[in-house]
Amino acid sequence: MWSRREFIQRSLLAAGVISLTEKFAADLVNKKDLIKVSILHTNDVHSHVDPFPDNHKRYAGRGGVQNRYNLIKKLRKENKNTLLFDCGDIFQGTPYFNMYGGELELKLMSKMGYDAATMGNHDFDNGMDGFLKVKSNANFPFICSNYDFSGTVLKDKTIPYRIFNKGGIKIGVFGVGIELHGLVDKKLYGNTKYLDPIKTAQKYADLLKQKHQCNLVICLSHLGYKYDGKKLSDSLLATKTSGIDLILGGHTHTFLEKAEKIKNKEGGTTLVNQAGWAGVNIGKVDFYFNKTSKKSLNLFDGNASYLEIK
Amino acid sequence: MKKKLALYLFLILTVVSCKLFVLTDRESENIAVEQSNSESTEISSIIEPYKEKLEVSMNQIIGYSEIEMSTGSPEGLLGNYVSDLSLRIGNQYYSALFNDTADFALLNNGGLRTFLPKGEITQGKVFEIMPFENELVVVTLSVKKMVELFNYIGKKTVKGGNRKQGVPVSGNVKIELSGETPVEVLVDNMRLRGRPYKVITTDYLANGGDNMDFFLNPIKYEKLGIKLRDAIMNDVKSKKLLDIKVGSKLDKRISYVE
């Protein structure tokens, strides 16, 4: 492929069309001509409303809703095609939760313009009644695809998937949660039925990509990044499914520098990302789509995914 | 009418074009949320009323301590205090829920994040000491695991060690160490017998936190449904009702033989 690229590069150079740069691939289809969709995400914010104090050993001055919001606003200004998600454990971790049951956290997330969230195990900490009591403060949906709440007070209060449209790009989003049995007190999750995360993920990936023709499929997960042994994680889910472009994670409080590229079941690429804990980081993944039809792209290369993935 | 036409056009364009979009590139970089100046008050105006009320509550005096308590090794006032109340309050829950009694309590100094000053105890101070949501559980251990447990205490205990060294146990346990080796272990004044023992601890430690591997794969694991922080609050508040200050003593529950 490189030789083909070099060939194009040389011929274009000879024709004086473009100048030589290291990022030749990016210049072939100038990124300005691409539609960029930015995905911003948090996880395990655990009620961290205020920034860490200035004398904090690790995260002095970092985090806090105001700082997060300033950053998010700046990123939205850079790209209007931006979505913001949270991957659960919004609750529990500071007295704000103990005192107000999550009301403030959800109010602030609504103000910050979250597009959707999924539930983590700690979001059950005040039981499903406790969650329901404050849920009206959220103006965004909770997307839970593998918790069957039909026999509980949360029946019809969450949705299994949602499709967003940014700059013409269709983005399908579903959510998988962690097994609550053994992790959360039974009385807190009651009759919630736990559905197989792999099967559920595949079902919604297929539905979104094939039936709804989504250009991008995103899974909001609270399974955890990676474990020793067979315990299901985002890394494992990525290899056992296909059609998911991005798994945003939580639960393990994993600080990744950037999204990790994983080969999925069909050999395609699934990215896995996680943004640490307490809102001291915001995760960011950008997807570029070409505006031109496949036909015009064929001028250069038959394979649309010929650009290098960073 | 114009609006409608524009909408139709938009819809048509969307439908026609969406299948043509092809994913060509991916980039990712997670960003640190740093301190930033903000002139807008749209966030702070939401937080403020909650924060004010919270501060009032956190500044609320819930009791008094007759002495300043810190963690320590081989034993510390704070560790002794919290493990004693964990055994007492834990067993109240254990007998009410399961009609059973645990033998002793074991915690970790790393989980007690700051010292308790002498005098007024505020609600916020208890949150500072125990910011985690750890819950009390009862873990039933075989005698073999019990030996591992006491060997762990021997290794983790250091004479005059730092804040995180030493292992807090309830006062009905007596351990004599020679170096790292336990040479005498008594529970309720008796040497270990060939039966399983029931230990009150936190779910964090019971799941192997602080390398307490002896808690893994126990005979039984029972949740008491009370957070350690709430147990501390209960103790402080109930003593205040009786006009008693909370206190603690160093009683050589873990000591070195010469």
* Chain A closest-CA separation from residue B47 CA (Å): 7
Which residues in B lie closer than 8 A to residue A276 (C-beta atoms)?
30
Domain boundaries, chain A: 37-297
What tens digit of pLDDT does each residue of A95-112 get?
A: 999 899 999 999 999 999
**CB pairs A-B closer than 8 Å:** 163
Domains of chain B with CATH codes: 56-256 (3.90.780.10)
CB atoms within 10 A of CB A193: 12
A65-78 and A103-112 are packed helices; what angle lies between their axes, rounded to 10 degrees?
A: 20
Asked whether A125 and A92 are in contact (CB, 8 A), the reply is: yes
**pLDDT score for A303:** 37
| Strand, helix or coil for residue A186 | helix
Question: For B11, which residue in chain A has the nearest alpha carbon?
Answer: A168
Integer Cα distance of A200 and A19 in angstroms:
48
Average pLDDT, chain B: 92
Region A37-297: CATH code: 3.60.21.10
* Chain B closest-CA separation from residue A301 CA (Å): 12
Of A134, A133, A132, which is closest to residue A109 (Cα–Cα)? Answer: A134
Residues B166-189 have a mean pLDDT of 97
Q: Do B36 and A185 touch (CB under 8 A)?
A: no
Question: Which residues between 260 and 299 in chain A have a beta carbon less than 8 angstroms from any beta carbon of chain B?
Answer: 261, 269, 271, 273, 275-276, 279-294, 297
Q: Nearest Cβ partner of A290 from B21, B31, B124? A: B21
Q: Do B27 and A310 touch (CB under 8 A)?
A: yes
Question: Could you report the predicted ipTM of this complex, rounded to two decimals?
Answer: 0.84
Which residues in A lie closer than 8 A to residue B223 (C-beta atoms)?
185
What tens digit of pLDDT does each residue of B61-74 get?
A: 999 999 999 999 99
Question: Which residues between 200 and 239 in chain A have a beta carbon less than 8 angstroms from any beta carbon of chain B?
Answer: 213, 215-216
Q: Do A65 and B43 touch (CB under 8 A)?
A: yes
| Strand, helix or coil for residue B141 | strand
For a pLDDT cut of 70, what percent of chain A falls above it? 84
Which residues in A lie closer than 8 A to residue B31 (C-beta atoms)?
71, 75, 281-282, 284
Integer Cα distance of B255 and A242 in angstroms:
60
Asked whether B222 and B138 are in contact (CB, 8 A), the reply is: yes
Which residues in A lie closer than 8 A to residue B57 (C-beta atoms)?
95, 99
Integer Cα distance of B116 and B248 in angstroms:
11
pTM of the model: 0.76
**pLDDT score for A12:** 45
What tens digit of pLDDT does each residue of B214-236 get?
A: 999 999 999 999 999 999 999 99
Of A237, A240, A174, A167, which is closest to residue A208 (Cα–Cα)? Answer: A174
Asked whether B73 and B52 are in contact (CB, 8 A), the reply is: no
CB atoms within 10 A of CB A284: 21
For a pLDDT cut of 90, what percent of chain B falls above it? 81
Q: Do A62 and B33 touch (CB under 8 A)?
A: yes
Q: Residues A157, A160, A164, A170: what is their CA dihedral angle, to the nearest 10 degrees?
A: -170
* Chain A closest-CA separation from residue B28 CA (Å): 4
- State which of A104-118, B129-143, B147-161 shows the largest mean pLDDT: A104-118
For a pLDDT cut of 90, what percent of chain A falls above it? 77
- For B232, list phi and psi in degrees, rounded to 5: -65, -45
Which residues in A lie closer than 8 A to residue B28 (C-beta atoms)?
258-259, 271, 273, 283-286, 310
Residues A115-133 have a mean pLDDT of 96
What tens digit of pLDDT does each residue of B26-63 get?
A: 999 999 999 998 778 899 999 999 999 999 999 999 99
Q: Do A304 and B36 touch (CB under 8 A)?
A: no
